[in-house]
């Protein structure tokens, strides 16, 4: 009897060992790149996605989030290329940062194209959004869902901005997109491309006068502490986020795991968009309480900026694709 019990115990231990080995073999870990950490809605979207994936896959898939573009040494415009080559498995990424490799994504950077959140949704959830996802996929990354970094507002240390003339000579830090340079040059400003790590000391010393970022970034990064005491709400462009997967990684997954990734990305994106929008009013109040002068453009002032940036459309619509821009504009008009 004792021998039988020992054999039974050994058999049970062997089964447990085999089960653990099988589980370890089935569990796959993937890297997820983001530019911002989970103090920001952007980073929270990536964290939410990782949590949902691990839960729904029962541990078969584990997503490890790497914020601050650390997988590309801080150069966020290299993220798409790194994904396409397989150095990054997945990402929750800015349309701005991927636009150098996917020209269609410059649609969202056209100045004053989208006046409100309903306009963003009209594009991303319609035919234009489908065309953009198809363009991303043709270049080696599988897009799964949309998120949102929000409208980018303008701040500076010089004074209130109410009309295009107020932009003349304003030294503005912008992200690494040629379209951004064209927009600010057209308005008479002096744009300078630099990473956010370089921007903060430049703002502190006055090497640049201003910057443009969503309100959530202005708030959490305490941009008011680096001399940015004037904030203009002009909604000149919005920055949707894209949940994406490297194509080779995608092709290696079962249909079940692909569906889990897609469903959880859609869920995490919808959660992040709703959360971001719901918090905007509270975020703006915090910024005002810290002594920042906030100026919201009147419809007439807004139109003056629209008129002043038409030359940007003449240059960039052919690069983005006239048909895509027309679809986006029609969707906005019909919203």
Q: Structural domains in the chain?
A: 27-333 (3.40.190.170)
Nearest CA among 165, 170, 160 for reference residue 207: 170
| Averaged pLDDT, 45-56 | 98
Rounded Cα distance, 218 and 327, in Å? 32
Residues 151-177 as b or e (16 or more Cβ within 10 Å = b): bbbbbbbeeebbebebbeebbbbbbbb
Q: Name residues whose C-beta falls within 8 Å of residue 307's C-beta, 6 or more positions apart in sequence.
A: none
Sign of CA dihedral 319, 322, 325, 329: positive
Q: What is the pLDDT of residue 21?
A: 40
| DSSP assignment letter at 114 | -
| Averaged pLDDT, 293-317 | 97
9 pLDDT higher than 80: no
39 pLDDT higher than 80: yes
Q: What is the pLDDT of residue 26?
A: 78
> What is the pTM (predicted TM-score) of this model?
0.90
The per-residue pLDDT for range 122-178, each reduced to its tens digit, is: 999 999 999 999 999 999 999 999 999 999 999 999 999 999 999 999 999 998 899
| Averaged pLDDT, 93-118 | 97
Sign of CA dihedral 215, 216, 222, 226: negative
| Averaged pLDDT, 210-226 | 96
Contact between 69 and 40 (Cβ < 8 Å): no
Q: What is the pLDDT of residue 82?
A: 97
Rounded Cα distance, 187 and 45, in Å? 34
| Averaged pLDDT, 310-334 | 98
Nearest CA among 108, 79, 97 for reference residue 236: 108
Q: What is the pLDDT of residue 197?
A: 81
Q: Name residues whose C-beta falls within 8 Å of residue 175's C-beta, 6 or more positions apart in sequence.
A: 76, 77, 96, 97, 193
Task: Give residue 218's Cα distance to chain centre.
Answer: 15
Nearest CA among 309, 313, 266, 321 for reference residue 102: 321
316 pLDDT higher than 50: yes
63 pLDDT higher than 70: yes
Q: What is the pLDDT of residue 14?
A: 44
Q: What is the pLDDT of residue 16?
A: 46
233 pLDDT higher than 50: yes
Q: What is the pLDDT of residue 242?
A: 98
Rounded Cα distance, 258 and 261, in Å? 5
Q: Which of 15-19, 172-176, 198-202 is least confident?
A: 15-19
Length of the chain: 335
11 pLDDT higher than 80: no
Tell me the percentage of the chain whose pLDDT exceeds 90.
Answer: 88
Rounded Cα distance, 152 and 239, in Å? 7
């Amino acid at each position: 009897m004792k021998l039988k019990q020992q054999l039974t115990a050994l058999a049970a231990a062997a089964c447990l060992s085999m089960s653990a080995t099988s589980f370890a073999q089935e569990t796959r870990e993937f890297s997820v790149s983001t530019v911002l950490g989970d103090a920001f809605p952007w980073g929270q979207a990536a964290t939410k996605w990782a949590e949902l994936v691990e839960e729904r896959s029962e541990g078969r898939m584990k997503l490890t989030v790497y914020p601050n573009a650390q997988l590309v040494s801080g150069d966020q415009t290299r993220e798409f290329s790194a994904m396409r080559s397989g150095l990054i498995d997945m990402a929750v990424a800015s349309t701005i940062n991927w636009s150098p490799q996917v020209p269609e994504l410059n649609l969202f950077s056209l100045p004053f194209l989208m006046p409100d959140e309903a306009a963003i949704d009209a594009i991303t959830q319609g035919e234009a959004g489908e065309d953009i996802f198809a363009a991303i996929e043709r270049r080696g990354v599988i897009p799964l869902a949309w998120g949102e970094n929000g409208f980018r507002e303008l701040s500076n240390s010089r004074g209130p901005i109410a009309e295009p003339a107020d932009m003349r000579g304003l030294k503005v830090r912008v992200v690494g997109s040629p379209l951004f340079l064209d927009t600010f040059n057209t308005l008479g400003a002096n744009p300078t491309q630099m990473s956010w790590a370089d921007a903060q000391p430049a703002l502190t010393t006055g090497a640049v006068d201003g910057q443009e970022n969503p309100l959530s970034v202005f708030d959490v990064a305490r941009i008011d502490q680096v001399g940015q005491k004037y904030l203009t709400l002009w909604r000149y462009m919005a920055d949707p986020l894209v949940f994406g997967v490297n194509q080779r990684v995608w092709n290696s997954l079962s249909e079940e795991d692909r569906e889990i990734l897609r469903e959880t990305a859609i869920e995490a994106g919808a959660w992040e968009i709703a959360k971001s929008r719901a918090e905007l009013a509270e975020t703006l109040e915090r910024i005002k309480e810290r002594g920042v002068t906030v100026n919201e453009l009147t419809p007439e002032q807004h139109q003056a900026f629209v008129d002043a940036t038409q030359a940007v459309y003449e240059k960039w619509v052919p690069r983005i694709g006239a048909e895509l821009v027309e679809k986006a504009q029609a969707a906005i008009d019909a919203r």
